Structure 1
Amino acid sequence: MPATAPVRLVIIGCGSIAKGGYQPRCLAYPHLISLHGYFDQNRAAAEELRQIAGSGRVYASVDEVLADPEVEAVLNLTTLGGHYPVTLAALKAGKHAFSEKPISITSAEADELIREAAQRKLKLGCAPSSSLGYEQQSVWVRIRAGEIGTPHTVLGSFACSRLECWHANADVFMTTGVSVAADATPYPLCVMTTYFGPIARVFGFARNTVPERTLQTGPRKGTVFKPTIPDHVLGALEFANGMKGMLYAGWSGQSEFPRLEIQGSEGAFSVHPHNDGMGIRLLSAKDHEIHTVPSPAKAFPKALDWGKGVADFADAIRRDRRVRCSAEQARHLVEIAERLNESSRTGMPVAVTSRFEAMEPIGDVAPWEHSGGQAQAVGR
């Protein structure tokens, strides 16, 4: 394909994050992404996305998607247990793949995906793309410029209200092997490890805080279930570069714990680990005051730009460069979740052995802006 042609991509899995997040934002980058079609086991969900877009094909099966020579890449938005097998099938069919997080249930599965992509010379990416927010990038640049002196500690959290009160499939998250450490911690950990590199050791404390829950929404409303995996985790982190960190995630209630705070010898930055445009705060050691820092002009308005990681992935395909939301970093986050749970079971700190190659800050012009200019914000 010509280097300037948008990548022909099919969305597999047309649920809530496809409709409310990925599809509208992928449509905002037409110079990089062409939504070629949709597949979902519920055909009506795929038909709805096609109607919203006004174009694209509805496929009858995953096999039909992967057999179509016009399809260059898939966006895997299936349920958690589908991330690994669907991505693996796509790679084996010669398609580039970008997956919702986590990239897989286990780090061994992630290793297999990375090997398959490398052997076939295909691009493989994975959410979250929160580190690509203009606020998150701005803070990264300012830290590296020495604005808060030498960074030494990073604190991160992602806590949401009772999952079963707003998610129709909350029981899937809590009974199928995907703990809160695997599903919720990637948001702060993505930004933490982008800024400061891999984590070398963790000490985790995980538990179930609510022994019985009842679905409050969706077609199975009223279903009672008992979580079998942790819904709450605390972690002490030691980075390979010597940085120290603390992590909190939970599915049992909101928290005022710092979403993402980076402490240095001359001050501290606070920024959201998930959404762009939420504001930056700077605590200066010079005057001991907390200052509100203006958001970059390009910051997405108080939300996550779900399409940005996919746009970067598409640009990486066309220019044959590394994907910023890399599979290697996603694999590292899966291993961190495994080690946090292992540490909690054993009562001992545990080494994290995987590593990934660091990226540099984006700079003044992001890769997804290089042809067609900045995409305009559209609703989630």
Structure 2
Amino acid sequence: MGKPLVPLNIGIVGCGNIIAAYLETFPKLDAVRLVAVADLDRARAEAVAAEHPGVRALSVDELMADADVQLVLNLTIPAAHAPVALQALAAGKHVYGEKPLAANSEQAAAVLEAAAETGLTVGCAPDTVLGTGTQTARRAIDDGLIGTPISATATMVTPGHERWHPHPDFYYVPGGGPLLDMGPYYVSALVTLLGPVASVIGAASHTRASRTIGSGPRAGESIPVTTDTHVTGVLVHESGALSTLVMSFDAVATQSANIEVHGETGSLIVPDPNHFAGDVKLRSLGSSDWETLPVSAGYVGASRGIGLQDFALTGSDAEPRAGAHLAFHALDVMESILKSAHTGQAVEISSTCERPAAVPLTELVIRA
């Protein structure tokens, strides 16, 4: 672990829907401090600043040039993730972004290269894997409660985000779809639990040419669908474990656990990786019942943005747990699943990453 960056002064670029979750979390974090916000729509930044004393509304260029900002929290749309990250790194700022790291792995590689050249650090959501749900499951695996891991399943089924999102267009174009939207949570969790992935086999379908927006000012409007909306894949981990992934915007519902991990002597039910907490259940070989394991690891009471606290405490000269190399590997895995689906061939994963360090059971210190 490097020298902590405490307090870490943060400037946010992008004041859209997701910012609310971060703003709710910041008061819980004693290692970070929000100092500025920016948006292409200046009025949105000013509205956020007006509700948070001490936070200044700036233009994007002003925020990048502001000496008080140490880290840029990049909450822009996926297409802007890489350009904003590169601008921040060029300005001498650390970066933490929403998932995915970039719209594609080529852009993501440019971000990693720029970070290496500048000596700055890049982190990336999802940080849900740092909560007590995934981390307690990881602790169970590391403690040998299921023996040698053999396989896992990861399932996300929803009839589509257009039913609730007022502007869902970006979910249904290349770079969107269920895999690139929700897959980062599941792939990051699988890598946290079982380690990096060596190869994948994928299949995908695209069942509807259009979707109808179900809420907001555009309700009833039809939007085109130009990307795969149901994706399956088999991930071969470097450890030899096999994970089966199902990501769908087409199906209605499922009773499958979000993630299950199976070993020689037991099976685990792992909570939804889109959330920070939840019950981890174990069924041991020879038992007829599932038992709920006590919370044993992870940030207690965590919410969106805990990755920034972990970033600050890890320091600038070490990889944070929600780090860019994990995010790059997850993006590489997802793109490779889609490539396999379209070519009918297994794809070797060119990247790898360290399995992130486990999070000990950690109570958050609420800032006064």
Please tell me the TM-score bracket, short chain as reference: over 0.9
- Residue 218 (structure 2) pairs with residue 217 (structure 1): no
- Is this contact kept in 1: 2:133–2:276, CA < 8 A? yes
Q: Against the structure 1 CA distance between its residues 299 and 311, is the aligned structure 2 distance closer, same or farther, given a 3 Å change threshold? A: closer
- Is this contact kept in 2: 1:199–1:240, CA < 8 A? yes
- Is this contact kept in 1: 2:115–2:122, CA < 8 A? yes
Q: 1:5, CA displacement in angstroms?
A: 3.9
Question: Which stretch shifts more, 290-299 or 95-104?
Answer: 290-299
Q: 1:298, CA displacement in angstroms?
A: 7.4
In the other structure, the counterpart of 1:13 is 14
Q: Distance in 2 between matches of 1:196 and 1:339?
A: 18
In the other structure, the counterpart of 1:374 is 365
- Structure 1: state its 5+ residue gaps: none
- Structure 2: state its 5+ residue gaps: none
Matches within 5 A, 1:171-250: 171-250=169-248
SS of 1:69's equivalent? Answer: coil
Q: Against the structure 1 CA distance between its residues 118 and 298, is the aligned structure 2 distance closer, same or farther, given a 3 Å change threshold? A: closer
In the other structure, the counterpart of 1:275 is 275
- Residue 44 (structure 2) pairs with residue 37 (structure 1): no
Q: Distance in 2 between matches of 1:25 and 1:338?
A: 31
Deviations 1:136-165 (A, max 9, x none): 112211211111111110111233342101
SS of 1:63's equivalent? Answer: helix
Q: Look up the equivalent residue of 1:48 and give its one-letter code.
A: A
In the other structure, the counterpart of 1:70 is 68
Q: 1:208, CA displacement in angstroms?
A: 1.6
Q: Look up the equivalent residue of 2:40 and give its one-letter code.
A: Q
Q: 1:207, CA displacement in angstroms?
A: 1.5
Q: Distance in 2 between matches of 1:256 and 1:32?
A: 39
Q: 1:361, CA displacement in angstroms?
A: 1.2
Matches within 5 A, 1:1-380: 5-19=6-20, 21-29=21-29, 31-59=30-58, 61-252=59-250, 253-272=252-271, 273-296=273-296, 300=300, 305-317=303-315, 320-365=317-362, 374-375=365-366
Q: Against the structure 1 CA distance between its residues 297 and 196, is the aligned structure 2 distance closer, same or farther, given a 3 Å change threshold? A: closer
User: What root-mean-square deviation, in Å, do the aligned CA atoms of Structure 1 and Structure 2 show?
Assistant: 2.0
Q: Distance in 1 between matches of 2:95 and 2:5?
A: 19
Q: Against the structure 1 CA distance between its residues 275 and 3, is the aligned structure 2 distance closer, same or farther, given a 3 Å change threshold? A: closer
Deviations 1:60-92 (A, max 9, x none): x21111111111111000011111110111011
TM-score when normalising by structure 2: 0.93
Q: Distance in 1 between matches of 2:157 and 2:72?
A: 30
Q: Look up the equivalent residue of 2:147 and give its one-letter code.
A: G
Q: Distance in 2 between matches of 1:3 and 1:111?
A: 26
Q: Look up the equivalent residue of 1:353 and give its one-letter code.
A: S
Sequence identity percentage: 31
Q: Look up the equivalent residue of 1:359 and give its one-letter code.
A: P
